[in-house]
Amino acid sequence: MSTPAIEILGLTKDYPVGFWRKRMRRSLDDLSLTVEDGEIFGFLGPNGAGKTTTLKLLTGLIFPTCGTARIRGRSIDDIDMHRQIGYLPEQPYFYDYLTARELLDYYARFSPSSAIERRGRIAHLLERVGLASAADVQLRKYSKGMLQRVGIAQAILDDPQVLLLDEPMSGLDPVGRREVRDIIVELRKQGRTIFFSTHILSDAEMLCDRVAILAGGKLQGVGAPGEIMSLEVHAMDILFELPAGQDVPPALSENVTKIGARCRVEVPESELYAALDQLRRSQARLLSISPIRPTLEDYFLRLVQDEKPRPNQAEVTVR
Ligand SMILES: Nc1ncnc2c1ncn2[C@@H]1O[C@H](COP(=O)(O)OP(=O)(O)O)[C@@H](O)[C@H]1O
Ligand SMILES: [Mg+2]
């Protein structure tokens, strides 16, 4: 088997809190996770879960309290390793009065290349992120979606094997999200590994080979989006019409919602046939029966609701 793209080994981060900064709070607790080469991996969790902290640890912007990680087999302490990763921060900030072409040219100067080489590479990059026609417009005139694409262009400037994107789709409208999704899919086709954090679950569901769910600094589960959802009990949704003057069967009446002449009822999968028997007796006309697949969103909401203060969140005093 090939070396995993990312191996996270017990990463833990405590931040100092309080005015005197003497107490520490654990924001990431013993996270272990493996991302395979060539995967699109979604890192999901509500605000404050520890997603940005994890990405900053991987990029070497901050240092772990304990634990470590390897990217393509090399430790995050290895400065040279960082050449292989591209990073899009959560809220990238760019100087407003530069154009996208000027900005990328500025970043490109950090690695050795001739002006001509750079020009060609940047034109190609702008094309890839769909900014070719806006390349010479100042960034202050860009929409949020366009800025996010400049951020992605910056992250892939040196053609990294592994991309770490922090909330690449947040704050974008559906069109912007779609564009970012397309870029991510395109990068995977070229054999890159993409690890991105998000709290927009539908994007993760559509895009990811696997997802990990983080809440309160702790890993809650890892799997294909479908796997995580299939753990849930399914229900069935029945839409029907009753003949004029016919009442809803009493056994179902409590759960029926009426929409004009139509009725809708949700029953557990195990009670489907019993419900259908009732409806037949009432001479109901069935309009549709569909399984209610819980979405990742449902799963997520439940996790967040269940989240109680955990022992790891307790503050400890440092002597
Ligand atoms: N520099 C910091 N100092 C103190 N606490 C921090 C710092 N950065 C993040 N935190 C805390 O760590 C927790 C996780 O934050 P973060 O990693 O930004 O979560 P997410 O990206 O999932 O929203 C939060 O409770 C946040 O307040
Ligand atoms: Mg964040």
Q: 6-230 belongs to which CATH class?
A: alpha beta
Query: What's the pLDDT tens digit per position in 30-43?
Result: 999 999 999 999 99
Q: Determine phi and psi for 276, rounding to 5 degrees.
A: -65, -35
* Ligand 2 center to 90 CA (angstroms): 6
Q: Which pLDDT value is given to residue 300?
A: 67
Using CA positions, which residue lies closest to atom 7 of ligand 1? Answer: 15
Please report, for the chain, the start and end positions of each structural domain, with discontinuous segments joined by +.
6-230, 235-292
Burial 114-129 (b: 16+ CB within 10 A, else e): eeeebeebbeebbebb
- Is ligand 1 within 6 A of the CB of residue 53? yes
- Is ligand 1 within 6 A of the CB of residue 48? yes
Q: What is the mean pLDDT of residues 141-162?
A: 92
Instruction: Tell me if the domain spanning 235-292 has CATH number 3.30.1490.
Output: no
Q: Which pLDDT value is given to residue 312?
A: 44
- Is ligand 1 within 6 A of the CB of residue 94? no
* Ligand 2 center to 109 CA (angstroms): 29
Closest CA to 43 of 211, 227, 223, 224: 211
- Is ligand 1 within 6 A of the CB of residue 278? no
Q: Which of 14, 17, 19, 53 to mutate for ligand 1's pocket (most ligand atoms within 8 Å of CB)?
A: 53
Quote the CA–CA distance of 237 and 290 in Å, as a whole number.
Answer: 5
Q: Which pLDDT value is given to residue 272?
A: 93
Q: Which pLDDT value is given to residue 308?
A: 52
Q: Which pLDDT value is given to residue 296?
A: 65
Q: What is the mean pLDDT of residues 88-113?
A: 89
> Which SS3 state, helix, strand or coil, does residue 249 take?
coil
Using CA positions, which residue lies closest to atom 6 of ligand 1? Answer: 15
Q: Using only C-alpha atoms, what is the Rg of the chain?
A: 25
Q: Which of 13, 52, 315 to mutate for ligand 1's pocket (most ligand atoms within 8 Å of CB)?
A: 52
- Is ligand 1 within 6 A of the CB of residue 15? yes
- Is ligand 1 within 6 A of the CB of residue 50? yes
CB 49 within 8 A of CB 215: yes
Residue 181 has pLDDT above 90, yes or no: yes
CB 282 within 8 A of CB 248: yes
Query: What's the pLDDT tens digit per position in 196-208?
Result: 999 877 788 889 9
* Ligand 2 center to 54 CA (angstroms): 9
Q: What is the mean pLDDT of residues 2-11?
A: 95
- Which residues have their alpha-adjacent CB atom under 5 A from ion ligand 2? 51-52, 90
Q: Which pLDDT value is given to residue 37?
A: 96
